[in-house]
Structure 1
Amino acid sequence: HYNNHIAFEHQIATTSPLRPVYIFSGLFADLLYTPYGPGAFSKGSQRPEMCYYGDGDSNKWPWSTQDDVAEWTIDILLHAPGVLAGDGGYFKIRSGVTTITELATTYEKVFQTSIDVTRKGTLRDLEERLAGLRKVKGRAGYFEYMGEAAAVVASKGLWENTDVTVLDQFRHPTSLEEYLSGEKTAGRMA
């Protein structure tokens, strides 16, 4: 998935006068509490469950709500000097950064229920698991190990999304608690 984006960037840079705008937003909030998000969230048999490898308090996951990304994208396209000059550019935006522990704590607060959070092993254990899944599933089956691959990247601090473009003149970032409360009110999460 990510390799396709890199290949596109290289192709455009070498063959076209176009200067695209690239926007990095971290994980969409809609995926935070799914099997594909950090912690591989599941409803569990008795109560919600999350798991992690390594240290759940030090691995940072950048995330954004789709509403924040939509408004900030418009802001970038209409106001960013490089974009207006036709130079394109790279922009890093995010609603927030969170850890597995913060995800669990916020969910518990909003939904008034406990989450079982389990440490499944070390980062090395996760890397070995990912290598095994890649070997068995192959490239075409990457959706089946996408969560593990993302967890390795996050565990190594490679996904921390530093040098963020701050675009709060029109919209302030949505907090994780605000996002979850909105999902609860809309009946999309329980």
Structure 2
Amino acid sequence: MRPSSLTPSVALTTPISGYVKSVSINPGQFVNPQDVLVEVVDRTGLHLELKVFEKDIARVQKGQRVLFKIPNSGVAQEQEAEVFLVGQAFDDDARTVRVHAHLHKPSGMLPGQYVAAHIQTAGARHRTLPEEAVIQAGEVSYIFARQGRGASGYRFRRYKVQTGPAQDGDVTITPLEALPDTTQLVRRGAYFLEAELSKGQDE
């Protein structure tokens, strides 16, 4: 005799709204009260969890701006977040500290995705240029600036600079000559200009 309490389906409700991340059961499967049936993710609380190395954690604090990208997402523009919590414990294996940041506009993100992030600390400001804009020449390097337009085309001037660390295709520069902030610096094609300058000197 079939018990009258059995029903072909049961409505399941969740205390939060969100998206189903995973389903751990199959139709007709017997489950116990303690079994996890479905995992639901609430994206309204989505935030970044970053791992910062021990040597850098002293410069990280609440309120700092975070710029990040999602690798292989096809979106070149960086997104923004803000640090709201700095962990107080080290991961003994990786020697890192967890840092959490609120997203300004969570666009196209999914829980568990990896991001490439930079935390803007209160460091000194430096001028930077793409690496292809700098002619490396030992301790002293060169950059070019557009000076105006002449009868035969644009005129350029070469400036001596000292370069610093490079990161993500950009390199910091310290001018060794007076260089006003309004100077129009060449951002690409520096090696072409250097070749033209050398050719003119040879001729």
TM-score, structure 1 as length reference: 0.18
Higher relative contact order (CA 8 A, sep 6+): 1
TM-score, structure 2 as length reference: 0.17
1 or 2, which has the higher helix percentage?
1
1 or 2, which has the higher strand percentage?
2
Bigger radius of gyration, 1 or 2? 2
